[in-house]
């Protein structure tokens, strides 16, 4: 340990050297030191069943032996080169084989970068400036993405509302916002303004909310009709809902999609993939100087991240993997629902078996505005009691992994019932 922090606690040091005492991701009162399988341990040695999973990447579990072996084999050979490397090329080929929309791949280091470049290449391809996104949809931290992510006072559609200071008014003029799961609304919006629209970006599964039947299909039809690139943000859902991602799971193929989290095996790696004619804008020889979109990244296709991604996909391509994850997730969803019903609590489980949470509100949950009815204080009560009982999750998600066990599920349901009793 550095001598500078020997006379203060780790939490005190964090608050001295980090804004808000954290990395911007999670509360400052916990620091994790180790993970194995579906469990993690904090710096005080406390063990937790982990439904945070590093915000999703650790889908096959922490320190998976196949991933660890691949990384340890590569590290002595070099950790980054900036040039092509064989592992990155093989990972790109594996993605093309797996993901329905993928004809070509560009690697980046974060989901934010992937989503930013997806919108940029769509605008380059179309020669139009405006992007359609959906209220409550999360697409990273770029200016475009932070329009109407979580407005406290939602405005009138399609007016975009900036969710962060520092975003210029000009960005607001280039973003059109629609309600998720309202096919009629977004179809009419695109029909009316198609000449100005460069692309449409959507989480096929928005945060926790599944698409209603026909919504993604309607979005696919109207964008195809006007030649507008449809972008699926699959940073979260890629390789989680199915080996081919949410587009495979829901049966709707976009023109572009973004991948992250799982595809890097826990290392900083993301990807933008899609149709070759759109991806051609990254190739000056094909589109010329005027159409060329420069994209550089020091760590893009990093060999260590690539071998971790390849090892992860090796595991996920084995028979029965997704059936196991879905069975575990479904068991947890059913157990939590049973407690809610038995205790008469105003809540419902929303999501799909690999990714869901309890929304403490009654009635439909079809879009962002429906979620505003949720009781945040009640959710915080349960999250706090779960953590005290050794269950770690984010504020609004249970991520289920291949490494979780039926015993983990039973303990989690028992802890949730204890939190309900404490009310």
State the pLDDT at residue 15.
92
| Of the candidates 122, 106, 104, the residue with the CA atom closest to the CA atom of residue 114 | 106
Residue 206: is its pLDDT beyond 60?
yes
* 16 within a domain of the structure (yes/no): no
Mean pLDDT, rounded, for 281-298: 96
Q: Spell 206-244 as b/e; 16+ CB within 10 A means b.
A: bbbbbbeeebbebbbebbeeeebbbbbbbbbbbbbbbbb
154 shares its domain with 37: no
Domain holding 309: CATH number? 3.40.640.10
268 shares its domain with 246: yes
Q: How confident is the model at residue 1 (pLDDT cuts 50, 70, 90)?
A: very low
Residue 6: is its pLDDT beyond 70?
no
State the pLDDT at residue 7.
57
Question: Coil, strand, or helix at residue 146?
Answer: coil
201 shares its domain with 80: yes
Q: How confident is the model at residue 8 (pLDDT cuts 50, 70, 90)?
A: confident
pLDDT in tens, 220-273: 999 999 999 999 999 999 999 999 999 999 999 999 999 999 999 999 999 999
* 376 within a domain of the structure (yes/no): yes
Residue 133: is its pLDDT beyond 60?
yes
Cα 250 to the center of its chain, rounded Å = 17
- Say if CB 367 and CB 209 are below 8 A apart: yes
Mean pLDDT, rounded, for 167-181: 94
46 shares its domain with 152: no
Residue 3: is its pLDDT beyond 70?
no
Among the three residues 292, 316, 340, which one is the final residue of a domain in this structure?
Answer: 316
Among the three residues 293, 316, 339, which one is the final residue of a domain in this structure?
Answer: 316
Number of domains in the chain: 2
288 shares its domain with 369: no
35 shares its domain with 58: yes
For the chain, what percent of residues have pLDDT higher than 90?
93
pLDDT in tens, 348-357: 999 999 999 9
* 23 within a domain of the structure (yes/no): no
134 shares its domain with 253: yes
Longest dimension (CA), the chain: 66
Q: How confident is the model at residue 423 (pLDDT cuts 50, 70, 90)?
A: confident
Element (H, E) at 98: helix 86-98
Mean pLDDT, rounded, for 190-204: 98
Q: Distance (Å, rounded) from C-alpha 40 to C-alpha 62?
A: 8
152 shares its domain with 197: yes
State the pLDDT at residue 153.
86
pLDDT in tens, 67-112: 999 999 999 999 999 999 999 999 999 999 999 999 999 999 999 9
Domain holding 40: CATH number? 3.90.1150.10
Q: How confident is the model at residue 11 (pLDDT cuts 50, 70, 90)?
A: confident
Active site residues: 138, 233, 261
186 shares its domain with 305: yes
- Say if CB 137 and CB 201 are below 8 A apart: yes
Mean pLDDT, rounded, for 148-159: 91
State the pLDDT at residue 422.
87
Residue 393: is its pLDDT beyond 70?
yes
Residue 207: CB partners within 8 Å, gap ≥ 6?
136, 137, 138, 371, 396
State the pLDDT at residue 70.
98
What's the pTM value of the predicted model, to 2 decimals?
A: 0.96
Domain that includes residue 94, residue range: 65-316
In a 10 Å sphere around its CB, with 0-12 CB exposed, 13-18 middle and 19+ buried, how is residue 58 labelled? Answer: buried
State the pLDDT at residue 4.
46
Name residue 348's beta-bridge partners. Answer: 359
* 13 within a domain of the structure (yes/no): no
Provide φ and ψ at 83, rounded to 5°: -90, 175
* 15 within a domain of the structure (yes/no): no
Q: Distance (Å, rounded) from C-alpha 346 to C-alpha 387?
A: 21
Mean of the per-residue pLDDT values for the chain? 95
54 shares its domain with 116: no
Residue 312: CB partners within 8 Å, gap ≥ 6?
59, 60, 64, 67, 239, 262, 263, 265, 266
* 11 within a domain of the structure (yes/no): no
Among the three residues 256, 281, 316, which one is the final residue of a domain in this structure?
Answer: 316
Sheet arrangement for strand 104-108 = 104-108, 270-274, 256-259, 230-234, 197-202, 130-134, 175-178
Mean pLDDT, rounded, for 55-70: 98
Residue 43: is its pLDDT beyond 60?
yes
Residue 5: is its pLDDT beyond 70?
no
332 shares its domain with 183: no
203 shares its domain with 302: yes
* 6 within a domain of the structure (yes/no): no
* 193 within a domain of the structure (yes/no): yes
């Amino acid at each position: 340990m550095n001598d500078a922090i020997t006379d203060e606690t780790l939490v005190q040091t964090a608050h001295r050297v980090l804004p808000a005492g954290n990395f911007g991701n999670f509360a400052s009162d916990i620091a994790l030191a180790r993970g194995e399988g579906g469990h993690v341990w904090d710096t005080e040695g406390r063990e937790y069943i982990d439904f945070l999973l590093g915000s999703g990447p650790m889908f096959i579990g922490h320190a998976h032996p196949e991933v660890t072996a691949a990384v340890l084999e590569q590290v002595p050979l070099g950790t980054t080169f900036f040039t092509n490397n064989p592992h990155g090329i093989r990972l790109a080929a594996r993605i093309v084989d797996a993901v329905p929309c993928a004809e070509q791949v560009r690697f980046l280091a974060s989901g934010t970068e992937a989503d930013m470049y997806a919108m940029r290449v769509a605008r380059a391809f179309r020669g139009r400036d405006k992007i359609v996104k959906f209220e409550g949809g999360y697409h990273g931290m770029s200016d475009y993405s932070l329009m109407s992510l979580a407005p406290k006072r939602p405005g009138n559609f399609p007016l975009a509302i900036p969710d962060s200071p520092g975003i210029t008014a000009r960005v607001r003029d280039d973003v059109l916002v629609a309600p998720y799961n309202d096919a009629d609304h977004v179809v009419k919006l695109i029909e009316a303004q198609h000449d100005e629209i460069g692309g449409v970006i959507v989480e096929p599964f928005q945060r926790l909310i599944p698409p209603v039947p026909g919504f993604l299909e309607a979005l696919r039809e109207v964008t195809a009709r006007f030649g507008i690139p449809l972008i699926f943000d699959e940073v979260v859902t890629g390789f989680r809902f199915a080996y081919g991602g949410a587009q495979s799971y829901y049966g709707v193929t976009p023109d572009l999609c973004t991948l992250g989290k799982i595809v890097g095996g826990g290392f900083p790696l993301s990807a933008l993939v899609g149709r070759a004619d759109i991806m051609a804008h990254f190739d000056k020889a094909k589109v010329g100087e005027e159409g060329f979109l420069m994209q550089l990244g020091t760590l893009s296709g990093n060999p260590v991240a690539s071998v971790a991604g390849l090892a992860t996909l090796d595991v996920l391509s084995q028979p029965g993997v997704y059936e196991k994850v879905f069975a575990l997730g479904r068991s947890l969803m059913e157990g939590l629902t049973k407690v809610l019903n038995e205790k008469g609590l105003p809540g419902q489980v929303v999501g799909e078996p690999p990714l869901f949470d309890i929304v403490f509100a009654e009635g439909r949950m079809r879009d962002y505005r429906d979620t505003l009815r949720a009781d945040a204080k009640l959710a915080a009560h349960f999250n706090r009691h779960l953590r005290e009982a050794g269950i770690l999750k984010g504020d609004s998600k249970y991520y289920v992994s291949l490494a979780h066990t039926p015993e983990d599920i039973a303990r989690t349901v028992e802890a949730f019932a204890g939190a309900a009793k404490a009310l």
